[in-house]
Each structure stands twice: as C-alpha cells, then as structure tokens.
A and B are shown apart, each in its own frame.
Chain A
Amino acid sequence: MSDPIARPHSKSFFAKFAELISDTLTSQVVTLWRVFKHLFVATDTVQYPEQQPHMFSRWRGRIILTRDPDGEERCVACNLCAVACPVDCIALQKTEDEEGRWYPEFFRINFSRCIMCGFCEEACPTNAIQLTPDFEMAEYKRQDMVWEKADLLIAGTGKYHETNFYRVAGKAIGGKDKGEARNELPPVDVRSLLP
C-alpha cells in the first residue's frame, strides 16, 4: 500500500482521499481479483516421476568427461574447470603418458557440493567436461555423491562431436608429431642454411 500521508500537503484532503481510493485501494482489489482468477487456470506442475519432464539438450545436469573423435580422453588436466568452479567441488591431478599427452591422474567431482552452474563446461578448452540433461543422481549416502574419473568418463564425444584439442595444439603426442597439427609447417631443420 502506498503512503498517502507522507506526501507533501499540497493537495486537498478530498483529492488525496480520491487518489487513495483510485490508485491504491482499487489496484489492490484488482490484484486480488486477478490472482483469484488463477484458481481456474491449469497448473504448470509436471507430475514427476509419473510424468517425465522434457529435458532440453543444454540442460545443466550430471557432469561427464568425454572422449575425442579418436576415442582418447579429451581432458588434458589443465585445471581450468577446477578454478572456475564457484563451490570448489572439482579436484584433479595432471599426469602425462610417455609420449607427452597430458591427462588427469585422478578427476573427482563432489556432486554433493555441485550447483550445476556449468562454469566448468564453459571454462573447458577441450570440450571434455560437459553437463548432461540427467539430473536423477540422488543417493542415500552423501559419500556416494563423490564421483571419480571412472564414474565420469563416457565412451563418446558427448554434445560436441568434432573437438579434438591435440589436433590443433602444437604439442607432440603419440600418433601426432611436431608439424602435424592443424596449420603447421614441418619442423624446422636448424642446421639448414636455406632461408
């Protein structure tokens, strides 16, 4: 309700009274009526679980780690998801195979802390970490909400099919030597005198 009294005393009492009736009381009554009419409007509630909601593909639910089109782990353990995470629920440790490919030694998400904000997905430079439309991940024990890499890693590419970080980045890994990434010349022969 507005405040008829605190206004400057420039108007006559009757003008103010009329204004009170028209502006404030009427509007309250109209509001009451409009809200009341909603008694006869169909509800928006989806009767989950009998009725399954329609999930959109960009829904931010359960987090997965995906593989690149070659079937290798996409995650390169760069730690950007972990630092983007506002609740600090991602922890991982980088390790490296003999041929220089970085990957996580462990990758842990504490889903009991996760707020499904999707910042990790946005931060991920390799499209490895993705959020999926699955939200049914309740557990009876909180400890079971801690997911390790084995739980997170899927066999496919997830939402983004093409991304293949190591085919773009210049670091040599097994199966891709220096000069074989996108837009790269063969390695320079330092001993050559040619320009």
Chain B
Amino acid sequence: MQWEVGSALNIASILAAVIVIAAMLIWVERRLLGFWQDRLGPNRVGPFGLLQVVADMIKIFTKEDWIPPFADRFSFVLAPTIIMIVVLLSFSVVPFAPGVGIVDSNIGVLFVLAMASLGAYSVMLGGLSSDNKYALLGSLRAAAQMVSYEVFMGISLLGVVALAGSFNLREIVLAQEGGWFVVPQFIGFIIFLIAGVAESHRLPFDIPEAEQEICAGYHTEYSGMKFGMFFVGEYLGLVLISSLITVLFFGGWQGPLLPPLVWFFIKASCFIAFFILLRAAIPRPRYDQLMSYGWLFLLPLSLINLLITGVVILSANQM
C-alpha cells in the first residue's frame, strides 16, 4: 500500500499512533512532573516504568463500571464518548507529513474549531447528567470557559489563515517554507497557546475539574473506563493542540536532514513537554480571573493582532 493521504493504512496507523501516544503521555507526564519536582516518578513497572501505562489500563478496564442510580443513564454514557470522538475527528485534518494524513480538507482550520466547540457538549452533558452539585458546577465552568476561549482561539488563527491564504492545514504548512508563522504571528501564537490550554482544560486552566474546590468537577461521578475516556480525551486534546501549534506556527513537518515525520514528532513533543511544564509550574487562576483575562485582555489583543496583520498584508499586496 502506498503512503497516500486518506489511505486505509494511514487511517489505521494514525489512529493507533495517536491513541498510543496519548496513553503513553500518562506515563510521560508523571515522569516529567516527577523530575521537575525532584522525584523519579513511576519507574517500577517494566523498564523505566514504561509498563505503568499497561498497568493503569488494566486497572481502569477492570474497575467497576458504575453508573450512579441518580444519573441520567443515556447522557451519562454519551458524554465521555463525545470527547473521544471529536478529538479523534480533529486529528483527521492534521497534516503530519507529506502523504501522512487522513483528509486534505479545504476547511481544515474551521473543522478543527468546529470539533473543539462540540467538545464542550461532552463536558456539559457529563456534568449535568451526573446529578451532583460538584459535577454541575464543573460543567458550568467548563461550558463558560470553552465557549469563551473558542472565540479568540479562532480569531488568533485568522492571522495565520490570512498569511497562508488558505484554510487548508496542509497548505498552511507549505506556506511556511519561507519562514515559520510564529515570527509574524507571535501574538497569535501566544493567544492560541493559552486558548489551547484552556480548551483542553489542562492545568493551570483545569478550573472545571479543580479538585481542591469541586472534587473532580464534571467527572466526579465517573469511574472505570468512562472516566478513562475523559482522561484519555484530555491527553488526546493535548496532542492535538501541540500538533496544531506545530502545523500552524512552526512549519509542520518541515526541517532539514531528518525525515518530515520525525520533525513533526520532535516539534509536537516539545509543545507537549511545555504543556506538562506549565502544569508543574503555574498555579491555577481563579475562575473569574480566567474569564476576565480572556474577555478583557486576550480578545482585544487578538482583534488588534488581526487588524495589524490585515493592514500589513493589504499594504504589502498593494505595494
């Protein structure tokens, strides 16, 4: 079979790779956090603790898969599947390397944004169906947070789109042959980075599940594999955001000497590691701080960024 975008081999190996990487991230994160906290992290199961993931999986699969009697069964089961599905679907438009990808869509950026909006349903349904006050609070926070940050996540990308002249992610990568968009779109990059963290509600923006305040937020009542799906969904989100940053701002697979896929992997890994560092170092803001920061600081900033980009592009075109 050939390496061709959309081929069955492509689909299968991307799916497998993404899920395996997401699962491995559990181990990677714990070890990295360990090192940053002057500990070792999980190092007992298998070489370097690599099989910790397997152990965790066995545990999570064999746990009692319990649905609380007071929960709304249908949406309770539906919620964790949504997050998995939408994140995996987002991966379909990501161009990993020339010939490696699932769909070469003209509306790739829009598709990713659309999927991200759907992700909010997962969290909301999960929280609402649990019939638990912590879950409800968590889902309220999640809905507000995801809806807000989506706005400037989208706006922050418009600069890139304008520069590349396309919504097609593969074309955006190709447009960076002369230089990564991170240079002209540095502000856009920062905004996207922050919004990405907020979208995947990773620390420090894990306000919807802040366990010190509201137990475990929207997934308080979840256990077993359903909890596992939320868990893996979060890591998938992490991989997705890192991949998107790579694609949109850091030239995707492009790089000298090494094969394109390796370049992509290296770049994405750096961002994954950066996200883990964020978790290790930065404390969680208050909920109202998060909201006012987004609406009153990031939104104007992204609009200004878009305005300047537009002015520069238009004036460059006229010259």
Contact = CB atoms under 8 A, between A and B. Distances in A.
Interface of A: 1-6, 20, 28, 31-32, 34-36, 38-39, 41-45, 47
Given A1-B285, A35-B281, A38-B38, 6 more contacts: A5-B293, A6-B292, A28-B281, A35-B36, A39-B35, A44-B38
B34 interface: yes
B282 A31 contact: yes
A78 B210 CA distance: 47
Contacts, number: 54
Interface string B275-311: 0011011100110110011001100000000000000
9 contacts: A3-B293, A4-B297, A5-B296, A20-B297, A31-B282, A32-B282, A36-B36, A36-B277, A38-B35
Given A41-B38, A43-B40, A1 B293 contact: yes
A5 B281 contact: no
Contacts of A36: 36, 277, 281
Contacts of A47: 40
A25 B284 CA distance: 14
B37 interface: yes
Given A28-B282, A32-B277, A32-B281, A38 B293 contact: no
Nearest to B279: A35
Contacts of B297: 4-5, 20
Nearest to A25: B190
Given A38-B38, A41-B38, A32 B292 contact: no
A38 B285 contact: no
A42 B38 CA distance: 7
Contacts of A43: 34-35, 38-40
How many residues of B sit at the interface, in one of the four size bands?
Answer: 20 to 34
A45 B39 contact: yes
Interface in B28-47: 32, 34-40
A43 to B, nearest CB: 5
A155 to B, nearest CB: 38
A20 B293 CA distance: 11
A3 B290 CA distance: 9
Contacts of A3: 286, 288-289, 292-293
A123 B77 CA distance: 53
B292 A35 contact: no
Contacts of B34: 43
A2 B32 CA distance: 27
Query: B37, B39, B281, B293 — which one has the most chain A CB atoms within 10 A of its CB?
Result: B281
A31 B285 CA distance: 15
The 8 A-B pairs with the shortest beta carbon distances in the complex, nearest first, are A35-B281, A45-B40, A5-B296, A5-B292, A3-B289, A31-B281, A38-B36, A1-B285
B156 to A, nearest CB: 17
B292 A38 contact: no
Contacts of A41: 38
